[in-house]
Amino acid sequence: MKLCVIGLGYIGLPTAAMFASNGHYVLGVDVNERILETLGRGEAFFSEPGLGEVVRWTVSERRLIPGREPLPADAYIICVPTPVNPDHSADLSYIERAVRSILPVVRKGNMVILESTSPPGTTRNMVCGILRESGLEPGTDLFVAYCPERVLPGRILTELVHNSRVIGGINTESAVRVRNLYSCFVRGEMYITDATTAEMCKLMENTYRDVNIALAAELAMICEELGINAWEVIRYANKHPRVNLHYPGPGVGGHCIAVDPWFIVQRLPETARMIGLARRINDAMPRFVLEKIRTLMKDIDGTKRICVLGVTYKPDVDDLRESPVIRLISLLKAEGGYSVITVDRHADYEGSRERDLYEAVRGCHLLLLAVNHREFRQVDFRRIRESMAYPCVLDTRNFWPPEEVEAAGLRYHLLGW
């Protein structure tokens, strides 16, 4: 089949590449020239295990080609962003533009699939409403479905294949056709439901995680007040067969979990009370860490120098979107009296990518482990101790063994203890 994937971001590009490497011809459409140029050279614009190879092969075989506008195809797959507006509602303008862009080329019998995270009702009301302007009737002339992904950045290709999926059709025939299309590469179960249920399902999956992380964050705050180690509590509580506590950290980032729950809260603020509270607790975590830093640094005169390890929103990815570490750094800067130096070979934030940890830490008063990137596991604490001006370490991820840090003469502090 000929497919047209609109939006070649973190989901659209891997999805386009998977279809292209499994028997289809794919036109990948984007408005971003840099993404199109990179794809034209057979490269992915972001790093993700295995993605580079699939993109190189599918582009060199001309199974995946970049383009600025949709062309006639059998199926249109929309993977554009749904950012959050300042009032926490979903900005659906990218979806609207994407659907409008297919109006000139859409034909009877085509499939139109929305993958973008969207508030309940978007497929049935907005997408179908715009498609009707073509003179074709969704459900009979066009097969329309909401088909969200569930992939975890860092494991996108594997999870695209093996995760189960929910496919929400505007009618059963739409869902069945879309399921058949995805079956060319999806090995997980594909469950069929209606479009609005599938939209709510996607939002709740990420909300579940957000609420659980907020619970862990609250546990960390409680434990700090009571002098208990939250990480020990989580470790042993999770031995219970029906308990799965999540982990605290400096906040929740990324473009999904920190955003999606707002789409529910904004619609029903009086009803979605726990979801809203969880969002606010997670958003307050950078400030909680700031207060901890303030306490740890209270005896330092003059500018307090902090070396921050990791700036991305989570470990082993190069994505800075909604990173709570960047929010923490902004809070430190706004407060004044701090100078911050960052180290992160995955992403560039004020020179973080090129910096050597042992150079960066020179003269610092605090070493802050903000993101537990794999490469930070094996660091030479003695070398670090030798160049620091004050021997203080704050681990926000329970990543380093305290004995090892303290054996080097550093003082170890843990978020949630």
Residue with tokens 């909300």: 207
| Angstrom distance (rounded) from CA 332 to CA 297 | 12
Q: Is 159 exposed, middle or buried (0-12, 13-18, 19+ CB in 10 A)?
A: middle
Residues with Cβ within 8 Å of 292's Cβ and at least 6 positions away in sequence, in order, are 224, 394, 413, 415
Least Å distance between CB 123 and ligand SAJ?
17
- Of 206, 342, 352, 398, the one binding ligand SAJ (CB under 6 A) is 206
Q: Which is nearer to ligand SAJ, 14 or 153 (CB)?
A: 153
The full DSSP string for 100-139 is: HHHTTT--TT-EEEE-S---TTIIIIIIHHHHHTTTPPBT
Q: Which is nearer to ligand SAJ, 174 or 206 (CB)?
A: 206
Closest CA to 199 of 92, 259, 118, 256: 118
* Marked catalytic residue, from 79, 256, 307, 392: 256
The residues with which 66 forms a beta bridge, in sequence order, are: 28
Q: Looking at residue 328, what DSSP letter applies? A: H
| Angstrom distance (rounded) from CA 8 to CA 107 | 23
Least Å distance between CB 350 and ligand SAJ?
20
Residue with tokens 């059963």: 172
| Measured CA distances, 299 to 64, 294, 362, 393, 412 (Å) | 59, 10, 19, 15, 16
256 is a catalytic site residue? yes
202 is a catalytic site residue? yes
Residues with Cβ within 8 Å of 139's Cβ and at least 6 positions away in sequence, in order, are 128, 170, 171, 173, 174
Helix H or strand E encompassing 280: helix 273-283
* Marked catalytic residue, from 4, 128, 147, 202: 202
Least Å distance between CB 247 and ligand SAJ?
4
Closest CA to 262 of 245, 284, 244, 283: 283
By CB under 6 A, tell whether 205 contacts ligand SAJ: yes
Q: Which region among 151-159, 236-244, 353-361, 374-382 touches ligand SAJ (by CB under 6 A)?
A: 151-159
Tell which positions 284-343 bind ligand SAJ, by CB under 6 A: 313-314
Q: Which is nearer to ligand SAJ, 110 or 398 (CB)?
A: 398
Q: Looking at beta carbons, which residue is closest to ligand SAJ?
A: 256
Determine the size of the site formed for ligand SAJ (CB under 6 A).
19
Least Å distance between CB 315 and ligand SAJ?
7
Binding-residue pattern over the window 254 to 273 for ligand SAJ, x denoting contact by CB under 6 A: x-xx----------------
Q: Which is nearer to ligand SAJ, 83 or 135 (CB)?
A: 83
Q: Which is nearer to ligand SAJ, 272 or 408 (CB)?
A: 272
- Of 56, 88, 97, 209, the one binding ligand SAJ (CB under 6 A) is 209
Tell which positions 224-253 bind ligand SAJ, by CB under 6 A: 246-247, 249, 252-253
Give the burial string for 369-406 (b: 16+ CB within 10 Å, else e): bbbbbebbeebebeebbeebebbbbbbbbbbbebeebe
Q: Which is nearer to ligand SAJ, 57 or 247 (CB)?
A: 247
Q: Which region among 204-212, 265-273, 344-352, 356-364 touches ligand SAJ (by CB under 6 A)?
A: 204-212
Q: Which is nearer to ligand SAJ, 258 or 364 (CB)?
A: 258
User: Which residues contact ligand SAJ by CB under 6 A?
Assistant: 149-153, 205-206, 209, 213, 246-247, 249, 252-254, 256-257, 313-314
Which residues are designated catalytic?
202, 256
